[in-house]
Structure 1
Amino acid sequence: MAAQPMFPLQSALLPGEFLPLRIFEPRYSRLVQDCLAMTDPAFGVVLITQGREIGGGDVRSDVGALAHITEHADEGMGRYQLRTVVGERIRVLEWLDDDPYPRAVVEPWPDQPGAPVTPEHIGGVIDKILALFQRILSVRGGQLRSDALAVEPEVADDPSRHIYELAARVPMGQADRYAVLAAPTLAERVAVLTDAIETVTAMVEFQIATDDTGE
């Protein structure tokens, strides 16, 4: 199995998200050059769970996704501007030497079979996110737009894509985002996302109560 170029990041990216990048570090310039020579230029993106990628010694997650390069600008001197879209989920089977850049043996990891996820389940997630947004806006004197969680028809028709897109709009931490990404089945992803929304909601309520009491 061929080695996949990899780009460890400080954030967990979800399928469907856009990732703009400015590349200037020599090894990642080489990564971009190698990717652009591919029929489908793409590299893996994974969350750094401990440490920092620069300088080495980082700990990387074993679940990520492929970032497909859709636009690029060569600015010379090894500098690139990239526009990528995060696509299919992958699982890292083995990390290889970081020479000349991070590489790994990976495999596609589609959702495993599980309990069915119905439109009612997705509707429940949407209701919880809307309630969270409305609570935040009520404190700021704002009003929730009717299309706040609107998605394209092709996304709405695909429960997996729909849940990922909804998750991307929730202001949760990287650990929760990774838990959403790493859930083996769609049903488990819905449960993980629901828990994350409830956690964020509780934090918002705590912050509002603290502000009201002046503590």
Structure 2
Amino acid sequence: MTARLPVFPLGTVLFPGLVLPLHIFEERYRALVRHLLSLPEDAPREFGVVAIRAGWEVAPTGPDGQPLPGGDVTLHEVGCTAELRQVTERPDGGFDIVTVGKRRFRVADVDRDAEPYLTADVEWLPEPGGPDEVADLLAARVISVFRQYLGLIRADDEGLSEQLPEDPTVLSHLVAATAVLTVADRQRLLAIDDTAARLRAELRLLNREAALLRQVRAVPVPLAELASPPTPN
């Protein structure tokens, strides 16, 4: 079964249950927010967030403010819907919004012409239901390794460690969104349908990242000098 969604390309990956605040300044996405606000109160105010494979979050424009040719983006195949929770309109006509990730989907077809913003036909991906002994066991291991990992990347990890969820699926999404991973790593985790398989993948990634952090700390160079330059997103 497919559904039609407005689509917001971003240089990040959204996971179910995670909060995503956005500053909306491009006119095409202002139109998207206005469309969502115009829906009936009982209608789901959701749009799809899909990570960019190639291209730019902000479309290049000419002197007249219109998008230039070649500004299209290539999207990853799997995304997550963002449910509109809070909207603040700015004096310049833009919006500050707060959204929460809801459900995963696979992009079947993208329409670049029907609306000012992208729309897509999407297929909903299955979510696990019911108890899973394997996932429960893996969740306990992931919590242990994740706490060790947090101790390597920050001094104030105690508050987050105490708040780690026990539900394996919720935990898997939180770890994927919180760990310092590449977009490609996060995208692979989002695309995994099975919670146990996602937790296994996260164990491998956390062990890899912890080993790298220990190695970097052994190098007599300030961490700031090894950091990647910030992205404009």
Instruction: Say yes or no: TM over 0.5.
Output: yes
User: Equivalent residues in 2 for 1:7-156 (5 A)?
Assistant: 7-38=8-39, 39-53=43-57, 54-55=59-60, 56-98=71-113, 99-111=115-127, 117-137=134-154, 142=155, 145=158, 147-151=159-163, 155-156=165-166
- Contact 2:14–2:79 (8 Å) recurs in 1: yes
Structure 2 Cα separation of the partners of residues 144 and 79 of structure 1? 35
Using the TM superposition, give the Cα deviation of residue 8 of structure 1 relative to its aligned residue in structure 2, in angstroms: 0.4
Q: 1:23 offset after TM fit, Å? A: 1.1
Give the unaligned 5+ runs of structure 2. Answer: 61-70, 222-233
The SS at the match of 1:44 is strand
Q: Give the C-alpha shift of residue 26 in structure 1.
A: 0.9
Superposed, 1:180-199 pairs within 5 Å as 180-199=189-208
Q: TM-score, normalised by structure 1?
A: 0.84
Structure 1 66/211 Cα, relative in aligned 2: closer, same or farther at 3 Å?
same
RMSD: 2.3
Say if 1:96 and 1:104, in contact at 8 Å, map to a contact too: yes
1:122-159 C-alpha deviation (Å, 9 max, x unpaired): 0111111111222345xxxx4752x432337xx53x32
Paired residue type of 1:41: R
Instruction: Identify if the C-alpha distance between structure 1 residues 40 and 136 changes in structure 2 by more than 3 Å, giving closer, same or farther.
Output: closer
One-letter amino acid matched to 1:120: L
SS at match of 1:125: helix
Matched letter for residue 21 of structure 1: L
- CA deviations 1:5-60 (Å, max 9, x no partner) are 00000011111111111112111111111112232211000100122132423210
Instruction: Supply the distance in 2 between the matched residues of 1:116 and 1:46 (Cα, whole angstroms).
Output: 31
4+ residue segments displaced more than 6 Å: none
CA deviations 1:55-103 (Å, max 9, x no partner) are 4232101101010010101225531111111111111111112431111
With over 3 angstroms needed to count, the CA separation of the structure-2 counterparts of 1:70 and 1:109, relative to structure 1, is same
Say whether the 8 Å CA contact 1:149–1:166 is kept in structure 2: no
SS in 1 for 2:76: strand
Gaps of 5+ in 1: none
Q: What secondary structure is seen at the aligned counterpart in 2 of 1:149? A: helix
Q: Percent identity?
A: 30
1:62–1:185 Cα change, 3 Å: same
| 1:91-124 CA distance string (max 9 Å, x none) | 11111124311110112212369x8533221011
Letter in 1 for 2:151: Q
Query: In the aligned structure 1, how far is the partner of 2:47 from the partner of 2:207?
Result: 33
